[in-house]
Structure 1
């Protein structure tokens, strides 16, 4: 399926920007009284757009291979219960509940961990994560001290 959607642009100073769309089906629950019905186990088909930017290409002429981004996220989360991924989420710290916001941040962190191990070291500058047809979240990591300022 081809997703034809315009995503909000991440402001960055880099010459190249790559965007990868992907989707995964996953269940979750939000272990907080304030979450209402979302405290109960339920599922979504999540649609994600991952934005990677940088100035240098790798030996294959890529910022990063599109397939690598899909593999990092789809393999880990598709047909899973997000709460069971205790490396990423937990049921005690609200900063680690598998909410749309935290899942978007987690996707960014997983991608960036991979990128940090590459020779050209591009940056994951934005993750757009749609949880339902009417609800989505955008996560943009703050720039590290000493990095480019856009």
Structure 2
């Protein structure tokens, strides 16, 4: 099995729709640090798991310098963003989203070796 990871920095804003009082319900910004983890049993025709450039383009085109509430169809928590990333990149099995120092969410896709749930 081959494994690669790509670290991406994304600047943007969001507000959280929460069931309780929180300052996070107000619009605010982050410089997110996102790490995308990919794997493949075999390398592609170019000798890669996937192209790092394509990972960055896929994430940046949707999230970078955007108000996430306007571009994502869900409450843009770090947890939901991490899951969304695994859905956007076929080779991605894990995504880590860091909002700030000490605040990190990780989503790991629960697939077996053949890609089945």
Distance (Å, rounded) in 1 between the aligned partners of 2:85 and 2:93: 11
Q: Give distance in 1, aligned partners of 2:39 and 2:29.
A: 31
d(CA) in 2 for partners of 1:42 and 1:148?
37
Quote the offset at 1:45 in angstroms: 0.4
Deviates more, 1:39-48 or 1:29-38: 29-38
Give the equivalent residue in structure 1 for 2:77: 99
Q: Match for residue 59 of structure 2? A: 73
Task: Write out per-residue CA displacement over residues 25-82 of structure 1, whole angstroms, 9 at most, x where no aligned residue.
Answer: 0100011242511110000000011010011111111110000000000121100000
Point out the structure with the larger strand share: 2
Bigger shift: residues 40-49 or 55-64? 55-64
Counterpart CA distance in 1 for 2:27 and 2:79 is 18
Verify the 8 A CA contact 1:47 1:131 in the aligned structure 2. yes
Q: Which has the larger radius of gyration?
A: 1
Work out whether 1:46 is the aligned partner of 2:40: no
In structure 2, runs of 5+ residues without a counterpart are none
Please say if 1:31 is aligned against 2:17.
yes
Residues 33 and 39 of structure 1 are in contact (CA less than 8 Å); yes or no, is this contact kept in structure 2?
no
Structure 1: any 5+ residue segments left out of the alignment? Answer: 1-14, 90-95, 113-122
Post-superposition, which runs of at least 4 consecutive aligned residues in structure 1 deviate over 6 A? none
In the alignment, structure 1 residue 147 sits paired with structure 2 residue 114: yes
The CA RMSD measured in Å over matched residues stands at: 1.7
Equivalent residues, number: 116
